[in-house]
Structure 1
Amino acid sequence: MSSNLDPDARNSYRLLTVAARLVQRRQDDALAPLGLTRAAVIALEGLAAGPLNQEQLAALIHVQSQTLGRVLIRLEGTGHITRTRQAADRRQFKVELTEAGKAALAAARSAEVDAYPSDGDVSWKVLREELAKFVSSIPAPRPDAAVVPFPLPEHRGDGRGTTLHGVDDERE
């Protein structure tokens, strides 16, 4: 059986995969000295605009609540977040950044920026726009496995916005 896929598309897919692995490796290397993972930084970013409950945060960053729970336990243990049981619904926790969490997020943002190449020949805006179109065109195999761009600030739903512009990563 032969593929009808354009050879340029196939080569672009391979290049995209290599680029993603290289960026992830650079991010991991930049965050390791801070004791953070990409998943932890994504959770911290989701809380940057203010507290949310765990389900709201999971929906915002496109991960399962149970997966997020493991990340939040680690972040709480390191003092980066607090989780407070809600009086109205004892099953729910209000999750918010601590001062240490805000400092860790600022350090992570700086470390990640320093990890990215600063090539003046790359049009980052065009690349971001094209990647967003590409990601949006890929159907998810099942709803809970969706890998989608984080919402732009105006799409957060509660009006507080967010600065997330990546894709989720549940690995620790």
Structure 2
Amino acid sequence: MTDVTEQDRVDDHWPVGRLLSAAARRIEREWNTHLAAWDLNHASHPVLVHLTAGPMSQRGLAEACGVTEQTMSRVLARLERTGYVSRRPDTTDRRRHVIAITDAGRQAFLASADPRPAQERVFAALDERQQEQLRQLLLLVVQPEDPEAWTPRTVPEAPEGTPGTGRRTA
């Protein structure tokens, strides 16, 4: 009888879906560890991404982030407690709230936006070519059936010298 290692069990028996799920959880843990320095997490960071383009309604943010309004309400409550967003009644519709990023939220977003620290820990075993190949394959996997409906947002770059971004001044 031969010894079966954990790696053998993963290689031989895990379907692609389980591998992707396990990889996503690992990346999420690393990303959350990185974002914790700014009291952010994987759920709150995309909200700041969307708000950098301008104020939005809670419903609009929920739709943009692909979550329910109830979930968005909890995320926004946390961001409001940290001082990263402001929530005020819409002047034209009292039932609606307008959410805006604060200066502190913009600074936290810019400082935390660089995904490289988390990715480097997860993908240390892959060379640059393999990392790019994985990225391209994952883009194909997550792309909806109607590619015209999907337009990834560009994240603004943090200015050089911003703490926590890995970008240094010359």
TM-score of the two chains, using structure 1 as the length reference: 0.69
CA offset digits 1:62-117 (Å, max 9, x no partner): 1111110111111111110111101211011111111100011112213x321212
Deviation at 1:36, TM superposition (A): 1.1
Q: What is the 5 A alignment of 1:8-19?
A: 11-19=15-23
Secondary structure of 1:121's counterpart equals helix
Instruction: Return structure 1 stretches of 4+ with deviation > 4 angstroms.
Output: none
Query: In structure 1, what is the equivalent of residue 117 of structure 2?
Result: 114
Q: Distance in 2 between matches of 1:137 and 1:45?
A: 21
Q: Distance in 2 between matches of 1:80 and 1:23?
A: 24
The reply on whether 1:163 has 2:166 as its aligned counterpart is: no
Deviation at 1:13, TM superposition (A): 2.3
- What's the C-alpha RMSD, in Å, of the aligned pairs? 2.7
- Aligned to 2:88, which of 84, 87, 90? 84
The reply on whether 1:46 has 2:38 as its aligned counterpart is: no
- Aligned to 1:67, which of 61, 71, 75? 71
Letter in 2 for 1:132: L
Residue pair 2:87, 2:98 contacting (<8 A) in 1 also? yes
Secondary structure of 2:44's counterpart equals helix
Residue pair 1:41, 1:105 contacting (<8 A) in 2 also? yes
Letter in 1 for 2:22: V
Larger Rg: 2
Residue pair 2:43, 2:75 contacting (<8 A) in 1 also? yes
Letter in 2 for 1:152: P
CA offset digits 1:30-71 (Å, max 9, x no partner): 112221111111111111111111111111111111110111
Letter in 1 for 2:152: L
- In the superposition, relative to structure 1, how do residues 54 and 151 fare at CA in structure 2: closer, same or farther (>3 Å)? farther
Q: What is the 5 A alignment of 1:19-34?
A: 19-34=23-38
Q: What residue ranges of structure 2 are gaps of 5+ in the alignment?
A: 1-10, 157-170
Q: What residue ranges of structure 1 are gaps of 5+ in the alignment?
A: 1-6, 139-149, 154-161, 165-172
In the comparison of the two structures, how many residue pairs are matched?
Answer: 137
Letter in 2 for 1:116: Q
Structure number with greater CO (CA < 8 Å, separation at least 6) is: 1
TM-score of the two chains, using structure 2 as the length reference: 0.69
